[in-house]
Amino acid sequence: MIAPGVLAFFLMSTPLSAAPWETLSDDEASASGWTRAKLAAAKEYAGTIKTEAVMIVVNGKVLDQWGPIDQKFNVHSVRKSLLSALYGIAVAEGRIKLEATMADLGIDDNPPSLTEEEKQATVHDLLKARSGVYHPALYETATMKENRPERHRHKPGTFWYYNNWDFNALGTIYENAKGNIYQDFETLIAQPLGMEDYTAADGRYVTGADSIHRAYPFRMTARDMARFGQLYLQNGQWGGNQILPAEWVRDSVTAYSKTGDGGGYGYLWWIAAHGKHLPGVTLPDGSYSARGAGGHYILVVPSLNLVIVHRVNTDVRGARVEKGEFGKLVDLVMNAHHTP
């Protein structure tokens, strides 16, 4: 794991001022194997579903985009991948130990409280969604509640379940150890990346009776989300600075669990494995995505130096793009690429 203190100098980096995205020239696109004209099919299809905005970034420049890329929408569960980045910094600083248990950290919840066995779950288990803690959680979808295993069904570390208790408790652990999630994301990530829109005011916690562990929704624009995806594509580097430890990025996008049609799961990231990731498209192994309910995605395809961001106006009741629809859209984008 990353040695304590190794990231101290990173936090001294001067934040970069916000700057607009550069556009890939036709010659650069062609040299990378992309045919812009073929992207028209993807844009046309997006117009038949509830897609609101799309950004396609190749080699760190915009290949194509459409829709309001500067409009802030709830990112829903993409928030978890955003938190994973903050964990990379906190772990490197030695503020959070991956092997620390819930008992070590004093983490519990409303009655029926955690048992001694549940308290043996580690931070590492929570990052991998393998805690074995099936306590009610905030900000769950109906499907998550329906699929949640019975309490004590699996021991910590032995079973993967996409679990909002894990994700929300990670937020509590982070803030107990380091600071406010929204402010830290602005200071440690958004500012160094030159994000054009995000501020700490774009987050608002969700509380409720089911659990003491708050959810932490973010509102972000497509163009800022694309910078976050590009940060991971660049192994945590930006503007000559190592914003996230490269080792953390590598570990985060390694699959520790099989997730059926989704492929695998890393540290709060979905990982393509054995051709599985999204229905309707076959992506190279090593691709990965952050996903939010309703059709929000940051998809990273390292083998093509590609980042795709997809947004839906989920502020409108009933607006959503299904996984298969997004998979078809990605397939149409991929069809615009050939080996140069």
How does pLDDT run across 271-283, given as a tens digit for each residue?
999 989 999 999 9
Write down the pLDDT at residue 19. Answer: 81
Q: Count Cα atoms within 13 angstroms, Cβ side, for 75.
A: 30
- Single out the residue of 224, 47, 228, 210 nearest to residue 138, CA to CA: 210
- Token pair of 131 as six digits: 């805690």
Q: Count Cα atoms within 13 angstroms, Cβ side, for 163.
A: 28
Write down the pLDDT at residue 11. Answer: 38
Q: In whole angstroms, what is the distance from residue 337 CA to residue 86 CA?
A: 33
Helix, strand or coil, per DSSP, at residue 17? coil
Contact 304, 58 (CB under 8 A): yes
Can you give the length of the chain in residues? 340
Structural domain boundaries in the chain: 8-95+178-334
Q: Which residue has the tokens 């959070």?
A: 96
Write down the pLDDT at residue 340. Answer: 79
Where helices occur in the chain by DSSP H, the ranges are: 26-31, 39-46, 78-93, 102-105, 123-127, 142-147, 164-177, 181-185, 191-193, 222-233, 246-252, 323-334
Tell me which fold the domain 8-95+178-334 belongs to. Beta-lactamase (3.40.710)
> How are the residues of the chain apportioned to helix, strand and coil, as percentages rounded to the nearest 5?
35, 15, 45
Write down the pLDDT at residue 339. Answer: 86
Write down the pLDDT at residue 332. Answer: 98
Write down the pLDDT at residue 164. Answer: 98
Residues (pLDDT < 70) of the chain are 1-17
Omega prior to 302 cis, within 30 of 0: no
Write down the pLDDT at residue 17. Answer: 59
- Token pair of 86 as six digits: 């903050």
Write down the pLDDT at residue 18. Answer: 76
Q: In whole angstroms, what is the distance from residue 307 CA to residue 289 CA?
A: 9
Dihedral class, residue 291 (left if φ above 0, else alpha if ψ from -120 to 50, else beta): beta
- Token pair of 204 as six digits: 């608002």
Helix, strand or coil, per DSSP, at residue 334? helix
